[in-house]
Amino acid sequence: MSRSLCFLAIATLFFSACSTRGPGAFRSYNYAPSSTSKTYCDDKSAYCATPPKKKYSKATMRPYVVHGKKYYPQVVSVGDTFRGNASWYGPNFHGKYTSNGERYNMWAMTAAHKTLPMNTIVKVTNRRNGKSTVVRINDRGPFVSTRIIDLSKAAASKISMIGTGTAPVTLEVLGFEGKGKRSIPTKKELKKLPQKMSMTGKYAIQIGSFSKIQGALLTQEKYDNTDGYKTIIKDVDGDDGRMFKVWLTGFKGEQEARDYKANGKFRNAFIVRED
């Protein structure tokens, strides 16, 4: 087969979105939850009110056919609700490609839906017990007429439906994940963050200070693991109000912190002492 024909075949398979859990799997079969698995909050202000325009042109928004039935992905509005049955999928699909090209991670807060736009943020409530969770749509399915959504194992665990396999649920559209949007941790969660980190020293370098959490989260994500050092966010109440300070941590002592600061990588950074 020529290169052009090979490329065409691959592109057709991917963009048709028919094979929603395609080939490929993580080489590691360690199914322990990942500390980097992203979670979402139910605060609608944390997400875009409408899908970013670039999302509309995604190939996965085009009509597609599965088992002889044609599906038409449709844009929905914040606040729209739907009722139906939820199912979940786990180890057999862990690491395989989803419809939008991501790798399925059964510990991430994601789900498959037949027609919602990719990256739609949805609140899922189990009508049997009232428990709810928030997920991002990144796959197509489930292709069973009696089911409305296929949850990751982590999401299914949140609403206690692992044992039953399915559950009657209500879906509520909270928003659409876009560039720069993040789920916003509560003040209590942020205060716990430093205690969860493994510190090897008592000194850190402050590389940023923000009055809004979004700036701190972006800075933390951008510089985490820089030269092997970890970033944390300190939630501080001061004379100027609530501030979110980003610290680079993991220095073995004051001298190591001073030597690193001296390399000039972070302008206006300064050394701080861990509590």
pLDDT in tens, 215-270: 888 888 888 888 888 888 888 876 777 888 899 988 888 888 888 888 888 888 99
Phi, psi torsion values for 69, nearest 5 degrees: -110, 135
What pLDDT, on a 0 to 100 scale, did the predictor assign at position 256?
86
Can you tell me the distance from the alpha carbon of 37 to that of 170, in angstroms, rounded to the nearest whole number? 24
Neighbours of 66 (CB within 10 A): 16
Confidence of residue 196 (pLDDT cuts 50, 70, 90): very low
Q: What is the mean pLDDT of the chain?
A: 78
Put simply, whether the predicted model's pTM sits higher than 0.95 gets the answer: no
What pLDDT, on a 0 to 100 scale, did the predictor assign at position 154?
93
Higher-confidence residue of 182 and 79: namely 79
Residue 44 has pLDDT above 60, yes or no: yes
